[in-house]
Amino acid sequence: MEIPNYQRSLIQKKQCFSPELEPLTCNLKQTTKPLNNNSFIYYLKTTKKDPSLGMMKGNIFDIKKFAIHDGPGIRTTVFLTGCPLDCWWCHNPESLRKVNSSNETNKEVSVEYVIQEIEKDIIFYDESGGGATFSGGEPLVQFDFLYELLKNCKRKNIHTCIDTSGYAPFEKFEKIVNLADIILFDIKLIDDELHKKYTGVSNKLILENLKKLTEHKNKVIVRVPLIPNVTDTKVNLDKLVKYISSLKNIIKVDLLPYNKIGEAKYNRFDQELRLGKLEIQSEDKLEEIKSNFDSLGIETSFRG
Ligand code: SF4
């Protein structure tokens, strides 16, 4: 189906009233680049019901559109419920709910539903080199659901990232490592006693998994959440830099400065702020941290 130029410009101006093209209008408002015809045609094809999609269901607590910090390009981030960790600073306390408990922040949805939501923005992925990111919580907690989502994205040529705490049996990573394009792997604390104290679990499995995953070329982006006085201490950062220097094939390091977004959620969910109210890192402190990581010779940038 050829989309004439005049119709394309009408769509971009949100003035197209064709029922078939109507769904496009709501998804085009943020585009700044000219769109190519193939993207339109693909979009139209993929927004129709796809009988081959599985009906498996899983639990999510959010889908974020136009995410720009969860992997390359413009992405749709799907937040899966459930996490085996219990980090004192968790920005998504709703993710910690039990997978099967139902409430307004924990929806049971089908693979088909999630894939159709992802496909709505396929033209933006094409234009920006983006795709879908599966986050949480810990997405590997709902392994079968995640596996189906990744498999369907792969079948439809949609780039995928998994945002993981790394705390899952390695056999699970092995099964999805070739389905996912990039693994965003969080490391928090190198000292195991501190790791247990602040996350509720040992870091042994996490560090072992990371080492094994970096046997794969161009697969892993290491992410370090900078939590004031917990993970951003000089002692921990020096150990982290040393540990990362022992790994190979890392694409890059993302440093995640502290932000206060999570604090409001704790009030809403009536949960205790175990670290109290924290101050965000100053520019000088962030630059000092980054210069430590720059010594690794691996691309390092800030996110968030
Ligand atoms: S691993 Fe992530 S989602 Fe899980 S508790 Fe920690 S910060 Fe929250």
Instruction: Report the residue among 61, 87, 188 best suited for mutation to probe ligand 1: largest number of ligand atoms under 8 A from its CB.
Output: 87
8 Å CB contact between 216 and 249: yes
- Report whether residue 189 contacts ligand 1, using a CB cutoff of 6 Å: no
pLDDT value of position 21: 39
Domain boundaries, the chain: 1-48, 57-302
pLDDT value of position 269: 74
- Report whether residue 165 contacts ligand 1, using a CB cutoff of 6 Å: yes
The secondary structure element, H or E, covering residue 197 is helix 192-199
Angle of helix 283-294 relative to helix 234-245, nearest 10 degrees, comes to 30
Instruction: Report the residue among 83, 88, 186, 273 best suited for mutation to probe ligand 1: largest number of ligand atoms under 8 A from its CB.
Output: 83
pLDDT value of position 285: 96
| Residues 189-217 as b or e (16 or more Cβ within 10 Å = b) | bbeeebbeebbebebeebbebbeebbeee
* CA 14 – ligand 1 centroid, Å: 39
* CA 135 – ligand 1 centroid, Å: 10
- Report whether residue 137 contacts ligand 1, using a CB cutoff of 6 Å: yes
- Report whether residue 133 contacts ligand 1, using a CB cutoff of 6 Å: no
For atom 3 of ligand 1, the residue with the nearest CA is 137
Contacts of 281 (CB under 8 A, 6+ apart): 226, 228, 232, 257, 258, 289
Q: Which atom of ligand 1 is nearest to the CA of 84?
A: 4
- Report whether residue 86 contacts ligand 1, using a CB cutoff of 6 Å: yes
Q: What is the pLDDT along the chain (304 residues), one digit of tens a residue?
A: 444 454 454 444 443 333 333 334 334 433 434 445 555 554 544 445 666 676 899 999 999 999 999 999 999 999 999 999 999 999 887 776 555 555 667 899 999 999 999 999 999 999 999 999 999 999 999 999 999 999 999 999 999 999 999 999 999 999 999 999 999 999 999 999 999 999 999 999 999 999 999 999 999 999 999 999 999 999 999 999 999 999 999 999 999 999 888 887 787 777 888 998 899 999 999 999 999 999 889 999 998 4
The secondary structure element, H or E, covering residue 275 is none
- Written out in words, the top-level CATH class of the domain with range 57-302 is alpha beta
What is the number of other CB atoms lying within 10 angstroms of the CB of residue 281?
Answer: 20
Burial class from Cβ neighbours inside 10 Å (0-12, 13-18, 19+) for residue 43 reads buried
Instruction: Report the residue among 85, 184, 198, 266 best suited for mutation to probe ligand 1: largest number of ligand atoms under 8 A from its CB.
Output: 85
- Nearest-CA neighbor of 97 among 264, 278, 271, 276? 271
- Nearest-CA neighbor of 182 among 216, 149, 148, 211? 216
Cα separation of 302 and 287, whole Å?
10
Q: Which atom of ligand 1 is nearest to the CA of 137?
A: 3
Cα separation of 177 and 168, whole Å?
13
* CA 62 – ligand 1 centroid, Å: 15
* CA 186 – ligand 1 centroid, Å: 10
Q: Which atom of ligand 1 is nearest to the CA of 186?
A: 1
The secondary structure element, H or E, covering residue 161 is strand 160-164
Instruction: Report the residue among 59, 60, 105, 138 best suited for mutation to probe ligand 1: largest number of ligand atoms under 8 A from its CB.
Output: 138
